Amino acid sequence: MTIHWNCLPFDTLPPLILYDMLRLRSEVFVVEQNCPYQDIDRRDLDAFHLLGHNEAGELVAGARLFGPGQYYEEASIGRVVVAQPYRNYGLGRELMRQALAYSQALFGPQPNKIGAQKYLERFYNDFGYEQCGPLYIEDGIPHIPMRRA
């Protein structure tokens, strides 16, 4: 499976790409996880958006990247999402590799902090993240803060 990656600031996203990004996040974070919450939080305006499209041009993966001080004191990666039919093929891992590489290219080498869903702790451990604070509930889902040196 070939994925084409782009990383764009919000104000350069074409309308159809923006629509697809918001639709994918809604499919996963609101519908699939049965979690009604306000995904469109204005933080998209400050983020770089990493987008992975398949060979047919469909958006199948994405994340948003923040520089230091925009979300946390450290640089940050969030809204990490892979479309359901594309899971279990290593695409989530490739998405994180791409996100970390783009984050470093954009913001320089530095620590990175995330708010991870608790059940994904081992996944993020594989990328060097470690829990750096207590468990908390966000939108009804257990999360933990994690930091990568």
pLDDT at 50 > cutoff 90: yes
Range of the domain at 84: 4-110
**What are 51's two structure tokens?**
């987008």
pLDDT for res 90: 94
Q: Would you say residue 105 lies in a domain? A: yes
Beta bridge partners of 75: 112
d(C-alpha 147, C-alpha 86), whole Å: 27
Q: Would you say residue 117 lies in a domain? A: no
Q: Would you say residue 144 lies in a domain? A: no
Give the CATH number for residue 41: 3.40.630.30
Looking at the structure of the chain, the number of domains it has is 1
Mention every residue, 6+ apart, whose C-beta is less than 8 A from residue 140: 35
81-133 per-position pLDDT tens digit: 999 999 999 999 999 999 999 999 999 999 999 999 999 999 999 999 999 99
Q: Would you say residue 116 lies in a domain? A: no
d(C-alpha 60, C-alpha 52), whole Å: 6
pLDDT for res 38: 85
pLDDT for res 122: 97
Residue 119 and residue 141 in contact, taking contact as beta carbons nearer than 8 Å = no
Q: Would you say residue 119 lies in a domain? A: no
Alpha-carbon Rg for the chain, nearest whole angstrom, is: 14
Mention every residue, 6+ apart, whose C-beta is less than 8 A from residue 39: 22, 25, 26, 29, 30, 79
Question: Distance of alpha carbon 108 from its chain centroid, rounded?
Answer: 18
d(C-alpha 144, C-alpha 130), whole Å: 10
Q: Would you say residue 43 lies in a domain? A: yes
pLDDT at 145 > cutoff 90: yes
Q: Would you say residue 137 lies in a domain? A: no
Q: Would you say residue 30 lies in a domain? A: yes
Beta bridge partners of 49: 8, 64
How open is the CA angle 32-135-140, to the nearest 5 degrees?
35
